[in-house]
Structure 1
């Protein structure tokens, strides 16, 4: 059974993108024509990213990428469009995933060690004595 392709993100229509004119179009023009960006560059609000891809689900709840598109719009300080760049899957850079685990402080105790380790840590007499010092219900002579 083949699953239908799914569009993810913001895939920009090439005909609408062609209507943007560097040096003339403003941020408001861009939003009115193709919508809000998927993201802005981390350290530069003048770089807008429109990221979209077409995927197809495959076995084991993973997706295969059929088409990937990124449109990068750069604006000057006054909000006028300066450059339009189109990137596709061929421009992507593979990233190596590190498989090691981040160490956490503490011991690696088994479930049984954790269960037995808590036995005797909490005493009901500590709770009763703290109530009597506060003049609670366990001390009826204190009105």
Structure 2
């Protein structure tokens, strides 16, 4: 490599050196933050047994998501993800604040979870799987031949 560099002109050496620096700088990790979690000071203002859903919304803002069961709770989630070159992104930190309510809509509990607690909080969307299973178009089309029922045609009378 040194022999090749010594044969190059000074301007070419500078260009090769700049290209090497640029390539090395491109491999620096990039961190991205997603979501929102209220600060500890904001959460300290919420009084368990006193505040309601409306007062929580007023003081700390809208949640990232709410409970699956109607009126179960508010969940604030933030994640910090490291992107490093062509590697798969890695979650560096994730924090979840759960505010639960009782039947009357009054704050029952405030909890904070994170990766450091040993609780891995998986955030993914459930996707309805297709009923199509490794069948080509023609096989699906021909598979419906015996399933025709004239009574299912709109406007048909018996």
Q: TM-score range by the shorter chain?
A: 0.5 to 0.7
SS in 2 for 1:45: coil
Does the CA contact (< 8 Å) of 1:53 and 1:65 recur in 2?
A: yes
1:66 to 92, 95, 113: 92
Aligned residue pairs total: 103
Q: Which residue of 2 is the match for residue 106 of structure 1? A: 135
Uncovered stretches (5+) of structure 2, i.e. residues with no partner? 1-24, 123-129, 139-158
Pairwise CA distance, 1:66? 1.9
Matched, 1:81 2:110: no
Q: Which residue of 2 is the match for residue 9 of structure 1? A: 35
**Structure (1 or 2) with the larger CA radius of gyration:** 1
Pairwise CA distance, 1:30? 1.0
Does the CA contact (< 8 Å) of 2:29 and 2:85 recur in 1?
A: no
Change (3 A) 1:108 1:60: farther
Inter-partner Cα distance in structure 1 for 2:59 and 2:95: 18
Pairwise CA distance, 1:105? 5.1
Change (3 A) 1:107 1:57: same
TM-score by length of 1: 0.60
Pairwise CA distance, 1:108? 8.6
Uncovered stretches (5+) of structure 1, i.e. residues with no partner? 95-101, 110-143
Q: Which residue of 2 is the match for residue 91 of structure 1? A: 119
Q: Which residue of 1 is the match for residue 17 of structure 2? A: none
Does the CA contact (< 8 Å) of 1:52 and 1:70 recur in 2?
A: yes
Q: Which residue of 1 is the match for residue 74 of structure 2? A: 48
Matched, 1:34 2:34: no
Pairwise CA distance, 1:4? 4.3
Q: Which residue of 1 is the match for residue 16 of structure 2? A: none
Does the CA contact (< 8 Å) of 1:37 and 1:50 recur in 2?
A: yes
Greater percentage in strand: 1
Greater percentage in helix: 2
Report the more deviating stretch, 36-45 or 68-77.
Answer: 36-45
